[in-house]
Amino acid sequence: MKSLIVYAVILLACNPTEMSREEMADVIKVEASGNTGSYTFNVTIKSPDTGCDQYADWWEVISPDGRLLYRRILAHSHVNEQPFTRSGGKVDVAPDQTVIVRAHMNNTGYGGAAMRGTVGSGFQSEQLDSDFANALEDEPPLPNGCAF
C-alpha cells in the first residue's frame, strides 16, 4: 500500500497537466478596439518570468473549437514589468464572435487563466481544460529566440 501511495505522488509530481498555477501565464484583462475584421487586442498578462529561461512567449486569440485566429509573439521576458500589457492585431473577428484569449510560457506551455468573450460584450476569466487545443503549440508563427 505504501509503495502505491508513493507511486501516485510521483505520477502527480511528474504530470505536466498538474503543474502549479504559479508556473503558468494568466491572461487577466482583454480589451479590443477597431472595426469588424480588423480589431486590435490589448492583452494584460501576469506571468512568472525569470528571464529567457522562463517567460511568457506569446498570447493568442483562438476560436472555441480550437482554431488559431491570431498570435502575438513576445520577444523578451518581462521580469520587472508584472503584469504587462501588449497590443496585437489586426484580428479578423466579428463583434459578436466568441473567442478565447490565452497565454503561453516557453517552458511550461499553456495552462494559466484564459479569457472568453466577444469584442462587443467584453471578456471574462475562464480556466480551460489542460489539453484544450494544445496542438497549436507547434503551429506558426513561433518565437525564434528571446532578446532578454
Rounded to whole angstroms, how far apart are CA atoms 74 and 84? Answer: 11
pLDDT digits (tens, 9 = 90+) for 28-82: 999 999 999 999 999 999 999 999 999 999 999 999 999 999 999 999 999 999 9
12 pLDDT above the threshold of 90:
no
pLDDT digits (tens, 9 = 90+) for 85-126: 999 999 999 999 999 999 999 999 999 999 999 999 999 999
Domains and CATH numbers, the chain: 20-128 (2.60.40)
- Asked if 104 contacts 25 with a C-beta cutoff of 8 angstroms, the reply is yes
Q: How confident is the model at residue 22 (pLDDT cuts 50, 70, 90)?
A: confident
Angstrom distances, CA of residue 46 to CA of 4, 27, 38, 81, 92: 37, 7, 26, 9, 25
- Asked if 51 contacts 35 with a C-beta cutoff of 8 angstroms, the reply is no
